[in-house]
Amino acid sequence: MAAPVLAKPKGRELAIAQIEQEPLIEQSFDLESPDTLIEVTEIAANFPPGVEDAAILYANGRSNDAVDLLQMFLLQKPDEDILWLLLFDLYQISGQKNAFEQLALDYAVKREQSPPAWREKQTATSSGKPASPISLHSATTGNSGQLFSLKGALDEQLGERIHLMLESARFGTMQLDLSGIQSASPQGCQLLQKALQELQQRQVQLQLASGALIGLLQHYIEKKETIASEYWLLLMQLYQMQGKMTEFENVAIDYAMQFEVSPPSWEKPKQPAQLVAPLLVEDELAVNPDTFALHGVIGSKSVSLLNEFKEFALQRNDITLDMSDVDRIEFSSVSILMDALMQLSVKSKQVTIVHANMLVYVLLVVMGIDQIVTVAGNQTHPPLFNR
């Protein structure tokens, strides 16, 4: 069987060398070694001058330098739409609305076309947001905050993601989806309970999908052999956050009888969580069961997130990787994403990346990821160049 041919961009030997030197990859993904080797060949990205450099500057966290470079090239080549689009994205992501609107005026005059519209962002995303194939946005309105989900086994392995959950709530609003948790250990319950306590103390405005988790916890505490108090404590914390005093007190009585200790005291939340019906979450999941969404900045702390994506993808044949909420992929961490995609590719998994902003889109093409999986444009930024 002939080796599949994957391409890397011409003139990026240094970048590829950095990727190959990363020891983190093999430690982070436990797929067995593929039977078929992957052959890498050179191919040139057909982008106008300045485009690749601007995307790589941004990936390295040098946004101001990327802006200066694009402005310089726009003076020389005002007919290159991709230069405009990259600059629009830079201003959008960094929240520079005035600069964005001035650029829109210039674009309308010089290109004689309608410019992209400024999109009001509900919250800024933080590094390494966990992904979820679920979205609560359709069930809510207004400033609902950053979406965050926990799913699978609630155990000590989720410690890093629970910490990231606290980070993502730093702007005071959050959509928290706990409906995907299928099992729970005492250690995992304790981690989540402490985190929810902190959210309550910080008076974070929550929209919460927790019906399935509450049902799971009720099942655990009804079992006579269950002796771990953490299940009771997490269930009481969930009821307290939702302002359900009667339910809280019923569990507190059972807790006191079971463990012969005083239960936690009821504290009325100043910001009760808004309960989102689990049915709405399940309905939306049914619409896009093969979509996995990434959020924020994909960086060195995103290893567990991409491991989760790998596990998600291994259970499917055609996977959509939604990057609509990805602000940036750190250049030094492209290797983590590339490794996951290459290993899925040799497993004959068909991955399509969608809705990446133009800066991320260019980086994916420059690094040859579009030769491993399909990298689709979005409605605002379709692919402008064939390779």
Q: pTM score, two decimals?
A: 0.51
CATH topology of domain 141-277: Transcription Regulator spoIIAA (3.30.750)
d(CA 172, CA 200): 11
Q: Give the model's pLDDT for residue 159.
A: 86
User: Which has the higher per-residue pLDDT, 131 or 79?
Assistant: 79
Q: Give the model's pLDDT for residue 305.
A: 80
Query: Is 60 exceeded by the pLDDT of residue 26?
Result: no
Confidence category of residue 379, pLDDT binned at 50, 70, 90: very low
Residue type, 73: F
Q: Give the model's pLDDT for residue 145.
A: 58
The mean pLDDT value for 98-115 works out to: 86
Query: Is 50 exceeded by the pLDDT of residue 265?
Result: yes
Q: Name the residue among 88, 114, 145 with its Cα closest to residue 276.
A: 145
> Do 196 and 210 form a contact (C-beta atoms < 8 A)?
no
The mean pLDDT value for 173-188 works out to: 85
Domain edges within the chain: 141-277
354 CB-contact burial (10 Å; exposed 0-12 / middle 13-18 / buried 19+) = middle
> Do 66 and 96 form a contact (C-beta atoms < 8 A)?
no
Please calculate the CA angle 376-382-385 and round it to the nearest 5 degrees.
Answer: 90
The mean pLDDT value for 301-323 works out to: 86
